[in-house]
Amino acid sequence: MREKLLLFKAEFFKALANPLRIRILDELRAKELTVTELKERLEVELPHVSQQLRILKSKNLVVARKQGNNIYYSCSDTTIFELLDVAKKIFNNHLVDIQSTLQQL
């Protein structure tokens, strides 16, 4: 069981190992969006957005809902946003450490 959890964690973090995927998840914080809406917000070519959405969907990080001709994407588990927020705090802490080191020089 422990090995399965470790494997899940490794695969989960692999899914987050792409900046565009993280940007997509950040855009899905407020509401569900179509591929076209994501393309416009991120200013990225449509095939790139679609490719990353497929990966996020295959890892169960996003879900899709069809309405008419549109497919709307949303985050499957909003707890992911807590993880992204913690990562941002860790990043900011590293910046503070770097600034402190630079000031000492």
- Segment 55-70, tens digit of pLDDT: 999 999 999 999 999 9
The CA distance from 30 to 33, in Å, is 9
Strand-strand pairing, 62-67 and 33-34: unpaired
Q: Is the pLDDT of residue 97 over 80?
A: no
Distances (CA, A) of 4 to 12, 15, 49, 67: 12, 16, 30, 36
Contact 50, 39 (CB under 8 A): no
Q: Is the pLDDT of residue 13 over 70?
A: yes
- Segment 27-45, tens digit of pLDDT: 999 999 999 999 999 999 9
Distances (CA, A) of 7 to 12, 36, 69, 77: 8, 33, 37, 19
Domains of the chain: 2-76 (1.10.10.10)
